[in-house]
Every structure is written in structure tokens, then in C-alpha cells.
Structure 1
Amino acid sequence: MIFVSSPLKCTTIMKNKTCYLFVFNGYSDWEPALAAASLQQFSEYEVRPFSIDGKAVISAANLQVIPQLSLAELDATLADIVILPGGAAWAEGKNREISPFIQDVLRKGKLLAAICDATLYLASQGILDNIPHTSNDLGLLKEAVPEYKGETNYVNKPAVTTDQVITANGAAGTAFALAIVSRLGLLENEQFAFWFGFFHKPEFQSLWHE
């Protein structure tokens, strides 16, 4: 349960859904930040960070993050959404230990969201071959993942949403968050939609410029 205070109203939100957020050494902490904060502060989703061994990790910004869970403790049945942030580890072929869990998440019809180099991992697993998706760059994706076969489904947009998979490029943290909260129906909450508008609506952005 979380108590949310804002200029609009105060509400108590019961946490009855789960967002698993993967953290690992060097992960790009800014990429999932807006999405994670949106879910944790304004929805019934509880954000639960996990690492492969359950031990603390150091993010790309040198922040120590202490996860709540290890990979072995995860239950795909309980996952409503899994978020995979970017980081150099993906291009280095690391983090493959999560593959059985990710496949189980998809088999169970749960939502998977990946940004930046985490999309390289999805491509390496064949997850992107037959669905619309994006990444940092098509050429880089093909070079980094020779086995990738999804070129005809590549969409040159900041973020792309399908029934089960959301992908985004590494410069599109806001678009990534927007795709996630849209897919989960959070924008139906007027309080949240107003707050989130400051991050992406032109009429709000113009407030900061003369």
C-alpha cells in the first residue's frame, strides 16, 4: 500500500499487481526511471527490483541498488510486467541466465518491456522476429545480432507497443514510459495523466521556454 500526495488530491493505493524490474551492474538507471516511478507512485503496481543473484548492483550512474529478489525467487505467474533496462552487459552477451524466466513470462501472456541494448537481447532470442519493434538503430541491431531475422518488422520510432512486448531506443525513456503506462491503462486516471503530461505534452513543455 502506498500513500500518494499531489497538488490535486491524496489517495491510498493498494498494491495488488507486480512489476519486476531487472537490475544489473552497469544498467542504465535513467532509462526505466520514469516508468518505474509512474507505476510505483500512481498505480496498483508494485515495482520489485531483482538481480540474478539477489545481491546489490552498481548502476551506470554509480548508484548502489539493493534488489528485493533474486532470479531464482521470481514467479512468472505473479508478474504483470517485466522491465529490462539497457546497459553494456547485453551487448557483451551477459545476463543470459534470465532467458528461461523471460520465456516463461511470454508463455504466460505477461507484458515485457525492453529499452536500448535490452532489445539486442530480445533479438538474440528470436522474440522480435515476428512482431513490430524498434531498437537503437536497425543497422546496429543487425550487426550486433547476426541471427536477427526481424528486419521487415522494424519500426523507426522511439517506442513500439505490441500485445505483449514494448521496445524503445535508448534516448526514448519518456516514450518508453508513455508506452508502458498507456498499455497498462494508467492514463485513464486523470490525476496521473495530468502529472505525466508535464513530461511529454508540448503544451506543458512550452512552459519552460520563452
Structure 2
Amino acid sequence: MKNIYLYLLDTMADWETGYILQGLSMQAMAGEVKYQVKTVGITKAPIKTLGGMTMIPDCSIGEIKEDSIGALLLPGADTWKEEQHKPVLDLVLTCMERKIPVAAICGATLALADLGILNSRKHTSNSVEFLSGCSREYTGNSLYVNQMSVRAENVITASSAGSLLWAKDIMECLSIYSKEVIDSWYRYFSTGNPERFMELVSALQIKN
């Protein structure tokens, strides 16, 4: 079983990961657990989120075995420009070489911009001005898409308002569920309609 690694860092926007974590939690109900979630940090030292939670990583970057990576999730944070994050940025480049999905939201898109990853593929962020104004390496203005989430092969980017669509794109990229399940999931969480909830429950009973 592959691991979906969620990077934990001080000042991370913890709420941005809520929808994808909920989506991944349905795997047993769908009949097959394809991925497990593991949190990873620079070290195993606790981090403090913007929401005020203290979180302890399951493992450190140095403990990750490349063959275990199913995807790498990068949440927004105020500290992405700091040198301390170089180990996870090196891991991002490894994932890119191996065509392992990398999903970045909000401030984490700036980290991808600094690596030059967004200069050659469609992407989004909080705004194109955010990327061009904060990253000297960013030259991908013409590939910027004014959407809340954009999937370009194995790279998924989202704005701070795009966590729901970001989660949908991640699940589609990893083929965690059938199209019916993912569409039902999105319809329910984007509307809150009780009828959509029952559609989701029904769809989950169909093995993928």
C-alpha cells in the first residue's frame, strides 16, 4: 500500500486539508483501502498550525522511502520561503522525476513557483500577482488559469479558496474511487443537499 504524505510545517493552514482528508477516509466504506495518510515533517518535532493546533508528524523527510510515496500534499503556510524547507522541496523534485502526484495549495504553490515547476504547465494559485510578485523564478504567467484548482498531469495547484476542488482533483488523479463516487462526493459537499448525501452513500456501496 502506498502512502499519501501530508507535509506539516509551522503556520500551516490546517483547514485547507479538511476536504481531502475526509475524502480519503471513505476508502474502507468503498471496499478497498488503496492509500494511507501519513504526516511528515522536517523532523518529528511538533508544529503549530495557523488554526492553533499542535501536530506531531508521523515521520521525518529523511525516513521516507521513495517507493512508498503515492502522493505528496503541500498545504499553505506563511513560512514557505524559509530555507528550512529545502528537504521537502528536494522531495518534490524526486516526485516530479518519478511522476508521483504533487498537490500544492495556497502558499505552497509559491514553493512550486520557486522550483520552476509552474513555468511549463497550467496552474493556479491565490493570484498570478501573488506568484509573480513573490517568486523571482516564476515566468509562467501565460499558463496561469483563473480557477480555484487546476490539474496538469501529476501537478495539482489550488488557491486558498479551492480546497474542495483541490481534493476532488487529487482523488481523480489517484483514481481512488470511481467517477460516480467522486462526482457524488463533490455534489454533496458543494451543495449540502441531503439528497446528494444519500446518492453518495449509494455510490460508495458499489465496489470500485
Deviations 1:65-99 (A, max 9, x none): 11110011012221111000001011456522312
- Name the SS for the 2:95 alignment partner: helix
CA RMSD of aligned residues (A): 2.3
- Partner Cα distance (2:126, 2:66) in 1: 28
Counterpart position of 2:140: 150
TM-score by length of 1: 0.83
Higher relative contact order (CA 8 A, sep 6+): 2
- Partner Cα distance (1:204, 1:88) in 2: 37
Larger mean CA deviation between 38-47 and 134-143 belongs to 38-47
Counterpart position of 2:116: 126
Deviations 1:110-159 (A, max 9, x none): 00000001000000000111000001000121000022011111111000
Larger mean CA deviation between 94-103 and 194-203 belongs to 194-203
Aligned amino acid, residue 86 of structure 1: G
Aligned amino acid, residue 26 of structure 1: T
CA shift, 1:180, in A, is 0.9
1:162 to 152, 158, 161: 152
Identical aligned pairs, as a percentage?
28
**Quick one: structure 1 residues 199 and 97, their matched pair in 2 at CA, closer, same or farther if it must change by over 3 Å?**
same
CA shift, 1:206, in A, is 9.8
- Partner Cα distance (1:130, 1:189) in 2: 28
Aligned amino acid, residue 21 of structure 2: A
2:105 to 115, 133, 143: 115
- Name the SS for the 2:16 alignment partner: coil
**Quick one: structure 1 residues 125 and 181, their matched pair in 2 at CA, closer, same or farther if it must change by over 3 Å?**
same
Residue correspondence of structure 1 range 3-82 to structure 2 within 5 A? 16-42=1-27, 43-82=33-72
CA shift, 1:24, in A, is 0.9
- Name the SS for the 1:110 alignment partner: coil
Residue correspondence of structure 1 range 177-196 to structure 2 within 5 A? 177-188=167-178, 194-196=184-186
TM-score by length of 2: 0.84
**Quick one: structure 1 residues 204 and 182, their matched pair in 2 at CA, closer, same or farther if it must change by over 3 Å?**
farther
CA shift, 1:51, in A, is 0.6
2:87 to 92, 97, 116: 97
Counterpart position of 1:12: none
- Partner Cα distance (1:160, 1:189) in 2: 18
Specify every segment of 5 or more residues in structure 2 that has no aligned partner in the other structure, as ranges. Answer: 28-32, 198-208
Aligned amino acid, residue 181 of structure 1: M
Larger mean CA deviation between 155-164 and 184-193 belongs to 184-193
Residue-pair matches, total: 192
- Partner Cα distance (1:180, 1:206) in 2: 21
Specify every segment of 5 or more residues in structure 1 that has no aligned partner in the other structure, as ranges. Answer: 1-15
Which has the larger share of helix?
2
Larger mean CA deviation between 193-202 and 125-134 belongs to 193-202
Counterpart position of 1:4: none
Cα contact 1:26–1:87 (8 A) shared by 2? yes
